[in-house]
Chains A and B, each alone.
Chain A
Amino acid sequence: MNEIGLNQILIVSTILFFIGVYGFLTRRNMITMLMAIELILNSVNINFVAFNKYLYADKLDGTFFTIFIITIAAAEAAVAIAIIIHLYRSLKSIDVDDADMMKF
């Protein structure tokens, strides 16, 4: 059995990325969309860690970026949920199609 290489990991992260994109574009529920965004972010995180481990093993930049992204993602999730709660209070719905007041 072969050792798991960079390619396999990149394939996983790519699949994860497109699942996220698919979820973001097709789901109408804003919470689900938020979760899809988290998937996209996590695929990026996997890339960072994998490149760091396989290409620049003596450096820590990739790992640091991953930690930053996890932190930012947490903050972003908090903000996004706050926005969603506000929208829910005014629209009585968290369906993204209902939030179309800004269209021409």
Chain B
Amino acid sequence: MPNYYIALIPLLPLATFVLLGLFGRKYLTASSGIIGTLSLFISTIISLITAYNYFFITGKVNGIFQPVLALKYTWLQFAPNVSIDLGIMLDPISMMMIVVVTFVSLMVHIFSLGYMKGEERFATYYAFLSLFTFSMLGLVLSSNIFQIYIFWELVGVSSFLLIGYYFEKPSAVAASKKAFIVTRFADLGFLIGILILAYNAETLDFSTLIQRLTDANSPYLINSTAASFFGISALTWGLVLVFLGGAGKSAMFPFHIWLPDAMEGPTPVSALIHAATMVVAGVFLVARLFPIFAFDVAALTVVTYVGAFSALLAAIIACTQTDIKRVLAYSTMSQIGYMMFSLGVSQHGGESGLGYMASMFHLFTHAFFKSLLFLGAGAVIHLVHSNEMKDMGGLRKLMPVTHITFLIACLAIAGIPPFAGFFSKEEILMAAFHSNKIVYFVALFTSGLTAFYMFRLYFAIFWSKESHANADHDEGTLSMKIPLIILAVFSVFAGFAPLSSLVTSDGAAIETHIDIVFSIAPVLLAAGGILLASKLYKSENSKPQSIATSLGGFYTAAHKKFYMDELYLFITNNIIFNMIGNAAAWIDKNIVDGFMNLLATVTAQISNLIKGFQSGKLQLYAVYFFVGVIGFMLLFVYLWN
């Protein structure tokens, strides 16, 4: 097979990571950005070629996209038929993901050339970015569930490293720890889920796993649905636990608390990891195992409601935040919620697989406009040196390129036609409408909220009051503007990508059409949200304040993120530390240590007793020896036999 070159897509960033990580700080300080960007550029080209080959030349067999195993290497052989492989799997979602990951990562690399210029640990930053890109590409190309877990953790580590990039700041250190611990906690569920699924299906390989657990006649499926624990079948447990891991990475309720804090990292990192790529890993994971999820209604229901609830909750919180990156973080969470419930309302195969396709479509378009939003926010922060809305305002004259591109991204995320977000959101709403009316209305309301809080952000940054920002430099270097413009172009046109014929649940193309009548409600709601935001925030006035006051407790609760952080702190401090931790500490101090101390005391006492024998008197030793010999003699003479 001549497609070993595909392995270069993840391996090039890995090589860059090793090179920059080992020699970057000493020898390549100035050129590390260029090296990282160039290597990723090659990687992007290869992934574009690969995706083109797959989608338009080799992938289709009888009109249906088949997964192709491009590379397979048995890594650990446990038993004759159980092994952990490392491989590369090509199928529509992995192809779409490598294009998105390499492309957004490339944009972020270019943007960082200007944004991170002059940082002391510039080379380290690029090394970490390369590590992340490698891990993410490895994740999406994984051919089995254990490999995906390995890369899953690698992604977590690189996210941890990048959030804690400014490790002199205590808040960044705390945020990186929080992100790591919360996602690790969720990953525990993922690992158990993997073990349950692998135990029941006796394989780790995705295609075999899916095949064994979706065939109604297979003994594996019958076994795993028959075995139950707390009245829930093993299959459901496995899937829900796997989803738990996905929810951790994708910042779904109740594991969302790390995402807003993760904004302590450099802004381009937030664009890459915490908006466009890593946080959609959970969606990707569910999509990867979707045929099994589609088979299990209970697990899919969990996905649906967690997604819908997260989307709504995050949108409400986003309306009250004042840190622009946090607003974007909650909006990310909300949009990922969309992708999740869209998967949840979908079914496998044919026209009823609309939700699946819509979710992937939204993932695709969201990556562009959300990374654009973050990079735009990065440019603003670069100029203003603050994350707070109150330090901004009236920036539209100072930074025209950022202004226009940011506006495009806001329109895209609000779902205004013909921008990218409109198309994908329409498909999601359509899928929800046909399957679950409650979810549909939640989604509809959330899309109105989305438009409102995005334009609140937009007006607060670029309009509101007259500019008083310290304009000591202009908008930023060319390397910061170019990614903004490229991403803006994609945010406009990505909606026209023919994903419905490329990325579907069963590989066969489905027909989608924009129903004008259906579109009226969401578009009107979005427009209403925009109008409301412009009334409240376009110029400085006291209306937002009075509305906030009239909402009273609800506003405060939303502003405090519904006290989720406090709840977690309460649980960890009072329940885990006090009750479990203290009890464990008592046992350790008194019982474990006590046993060890007892042994030591007994030994010391015995030594004290017998140390008198060692008198240093030679003749005394001779007496012992003599008595001993006599004793042995008597023993042998009289007691033998």
Which residues in A have some Cβ–Cβ distance to B below 8 Å?
Answer: 21, 24-26, 33, 96-97, 99-104
Contacts and interface: CB of A to CB of B under 8 A. Distances in A.
B614 A25 contact: no
B550 interface: no
B632 interface: no
A100 B619 CA distance: 11
Nearest to A26: B619
B626 A100 contact: no
A100 B617 contact: yes
Contacts of B619: 24-26, 33, 96
A103 B618 contact: no
Given A25-B619, A100-B615, 15 more contacts: A25-B623, A25-B626, A26-B619, A96-B617, A96-B618, A100-B616, A100-B617, A101-B616, A102-B616, A103-B614, A103-B615, A103-B617, A104-B611, A104-B614, A104-B615
Nearest to B623: A25
Q: How large is the interface on B (under 10, 10 to 19, 20 to 34, 35 or more residues)?
A: 10 to 19
A21 B619 CA distance: 10
B626 A104 contact: no
Contact of A24 (B611, B616, B617, B622): B622
A20 B616 CA distance: 22
A103 B622 contact: no
A103 B626 CA distance: 20
Interface in B604-641: 611, 614-619, 622-623, 626
Nearest to B620: A25
A33 B619 CA distance: 10
How would you classify the secondary structure of chain B's contact residues: helix, strand, loop or mixed?
A: helix
Nearest to B616: A103
A104 B609 CA distance: 13
Contacts of A104: 611, 614-616
27 contacts: A21-B626, A24-B619, A24-B622, A25-B619, A25-B622, A25-B623, A25-B626, A26-B619, A33-B619, A96-B617, A96-B618, A96-B619, A97-B617, A99-B618, A100-B615, A100-B616, A100-B617, A101-B616, A102-B616, A103-B614, A103-B615, A103-B616, A103-B617, A104-B611, A104-B614, A104-B615, A104-B616
A3 B616 CA distance: 48
A11 B335 CA distance: 109
A101 B618 CA distance: 11
Contacts of B611: 104
Nearest to A103: B616
A100 B623 CA distance: 16
A104 B608 CA distance: 11
Contacts of B623: 25
A23 to B, nearest CB: 11
Contacts of A96: 617-619
Contacts of A24: 619, 622
Nearest to A96: B618
A104 B618 CA distance: 13
A100 B614 CA distance: 10
Contacts of B617: 96-97, 100, 103
Nearest to B612: A104
Nearest to A24: B622
Contacts of B615: 100, 103-104
Nearest to A99: B618
Contacts of B614: 103-104
Contacts of A25: 619, 622-623, 626
Interface string B122-142: 000000000000000000000
Nearest to B607: A104
Contacts of B626: 21, 25
Contacts of A100: 615-617
Contacts of B618: 96, 99
B11 to A, nearest CB: 66
Contacts of A97: 617
B213 to A, nearest CB: 72
Contacts of B622: 24-25
Contacts of B616: 100-104
Interface in B145-202: none
B604 to A, nearest CB: 14
Nearest to B614: A104
B224 to A, nearest CB: 68
Contacts of A99: 618
B3 to A, nearest CB: 77
Among A97, A102, A104, the one with the most B-chain Cβ atoms within 10 Å of its Cβ is: A104
Interface string B204-232: 00000000000000000000000000000
A37 B226 CA distance: 87
Interface in B454-471: none
A82 B524 CA distance: 112
Nearest to B611: A104
Nearest to B613: A104
A10 to B, nearest CB: 16
Nearest to B615: A103
Interface in B23-77: none
Nearest to A30: B618
B614 to A, nearest CB: 5
B73 to A, nearest CB: 64
